[in-house]
Every structure is written in C-alpha cells, then in structure tokens.
Structure 1
Amino acid sequence: MADHRAKGLSSAICYRDSKAAFRWLEDAFGFEPLFVLLDADGNLAHSEMEYGPSTIMVGNEWSDDHRSPANLGGKNTQTVHVQLGRGEDIDAHCAKARAAGARIIAEPETQFYGDRTYRAKDPEGHIWTFGVTVADKSAAEWDAEGGFTTQARLDD
C-alpha cells in the first residue's frame, strides 16, 4: 500500500453491498485491490483499487446524496471510463466482464476517434466504459470522420 498519493483524479463509487462489489470489480474488470478498511463489525468502511496508475474508491452508500443506482431506479449521474493499455484485447475483456455477470449495454465497436470501446453495467447498475486505442488519429481526421470541430478551449 502506498504511503502517499500522487496528484491526480480518482472516483468514489457507492454500493449497497460494497464487499460484493469490491470482489466483483476484481473478477470482472481486473481491478487490483490496494486496501480495505473494515469497521469494528467487519463491514467495509472504505476501500481502494487500482488499474494502471489510477485509483477507484469503493464504499457503501453513506447519505441520501451518495447512493447506488440500485436505489435510484438505475439512474447514473456519472460514468467511469477505463482505458486499457495499447495492445490489450478489449473483446476478451468484454467477454470476461460478461461471464462475471456484467450487462453489456454497448458491444465492442471501433469509434471514429480510433479507440475500440464497450459499455457495461455492474450488478448494481453503475455504467463503465472501457476503451483501447487501436488507431492513432489526428484531431483533423476524427473531426472529418465524426463531423466535429476540435479545439483546445471554448470560444467566448
């Protein structure tokens, strides 16, 4: 377990059954456990997992504003994007997630910007997007293919 955190972002995901979610995320998506913090009754108070240099926090619902989609009619207010390393087999990753019980809501497909992606819902309804770069494309190329305009900042 690291004794400090590097500058960066991580996401904290709330579950009704965070112990089951922690185990499932390892089995289905390949996230690596960093640590679990158990309370006096053995309940999961907090946990962290990593994927590459990124960290995800997995915990219980802890207020009316921090809920699992399972308690919100399946609604999500954010999704998590996970980028696989170049050369990793995203179709095999999807198959492993499906075998573990993920509901695949978008099958693997190569996108106009050069990544192959799929989307899955975990057992409590959180939406996860997984991607891997399969073709290097410039902004001009993906703009032409997707019908977009890429720029660094919003104009006034």
Structure 2
Amino acid sequence: MKPIPQDWPRISSSLFYEDAPAAIDWLERAFGFQTRLKVEGADNTIVHSELVYGDGVIMVNSSGRHDHHRSPRLHGGVNTQTLTVYVDDVDAHCAQARAAGAAIIQEPETKNYGDDWGTNRTYGAMDLEGHRWWFTQRVFTPA
C-alpha cells in the first residue's frame, strides 16, 4: 500500500448535520472529540471540518451542500452507518455523553467474544441528529 497523509488514519468517515457548528461543539462536549480544522461557509455552514479522537479522524460537514449528503434527522432517523470508537473508560465516557444529552441506546455491557477476540465493554449512543455511535473498551485481550 502507498503511504497516507501524516496524521490521517487509513479509513475515516464523514458525517452530515443540519446544524454542523452545533454538532461539532456537542461532539467535543459529549464524546471528547477535538477540532483540528474547521472551514466555515456562508449562512453558518461548515464546508469541511476534521475532528480527532486519539488517532482517529472524522469529518463533520453541513447537510444540503450536495443532494446526496443528509443528516439522519431528515430521513426519520434512518442510519446507513454506525461508528465505533475505542475509549479508555466506557463507564466514564457514557456518563459524560449522558450529561451532555446523548440518548443512550444501550447501557454499558461487558461481552466475551471468544478466545480469538477477547472481551469488550461497550455502550451505544445516539447524537443530537440521530447518528448512532458505539463506544467500547478492551477489557481482556487473548494471548
């Protein structure tokens, strides 16, 4: 494989929000992302942004700039993707997200996925516009 740009993961995702500026602020407060780049457009829109969590990167942009980019809110909450983020402490992260207004769709739960995969503690949350997120903590890694 050819090298990728510095500070970028090999795969990242773009999310679209009706109110992208508010979503960026909320994602920082609720889930602990940090904004490293934000390009603002006319009428309080976000043309492009990059939010980081550890070595992961997501892009958050305003819905409606292109016909095929929409927030789940505009489609009755239907999602075509979910995002999974590894965190250090699932229970503390869940409490932070809940305090910021995240809808917790699955309370933290520990599951053993077998000898090949190990054990994770995971919770599910929905953000302000209906994107679904899974946050997981590695509890046990097989030898």
TM class, shorter-length? 0.7 to 0.9
TM-score under structure 1 length normalisation: 0.79
Match in the other structure for 1:92: 92
Q: Which runs of 5+ in 1 are unaligned?
A: 139-156
Q: Say if 1:63 and 1:42 are closer, same or farther in 2 by CA, change over 3 A.
A: closer
Distance in 2 (alpha carbons) for counterparts of 1:108 and 1:122? 16
Name which of 77, 81, 84 aligns with 2:84. 81
Name which of 49, 59, 62 aligns with 1:60. 62
Shift of 1:41: 5.1
Name which of 93, 113, 117 aligns with 2:122. 117
Shift of 1:74: 0.5
**Match of 2:128, as an amino acid?**
P
1:107 aligns with 2:111: no
Shift of 1:112: 1.7
What is the CA deviation profile of residues 11-66 of structure 1, one whole-angstrom value per residue up to 9, with x for unaligned ones? Answer: 00000000000000000000011110012555321111001111000001133321
Matched pairs, number: 133
Distance in 1 (alpha carbons) for counterparts of 2:76 and 2:14? 20
Match in the other structure for 2:26: 24
Distance in 1 (alpha carbons) for counterparts of 2:105 and 2:9? 32
Distance in 1 (alpha carbons) for counterparts of 2:6 and 2:92? 34
Structure whose residues are more often strand by fraction: 2
Query: How large is the RMSD of aligned CA atoms in angstroms?
Result: 1.7
Q: Does the residue aligned with 1:91 lie in a helix, a strand or coil?
A: helix
Distance in 2 (alpha carbons) for counterparts of 1:125 and 1:7? 25
Name which of 41, 45, 48 aligns with 2:47. 45
Distance in 1 (alpha carbons) for counterparts of 2:36 and 2:109? 31
**Match of 1:121, as an amino acid?**
M
What is the CA deviation profile of residues 79-123 of structure 1, one whole-angstrom value per residue up to 9, with x for unaligned ones? Answer: 010011xxx221010010001000000000011220100000001
Q: Does the residue aligned with 1:111 lie in a helix, a strand or coil?
A: strand
**Match of 2:101, as an amino acid?**
G
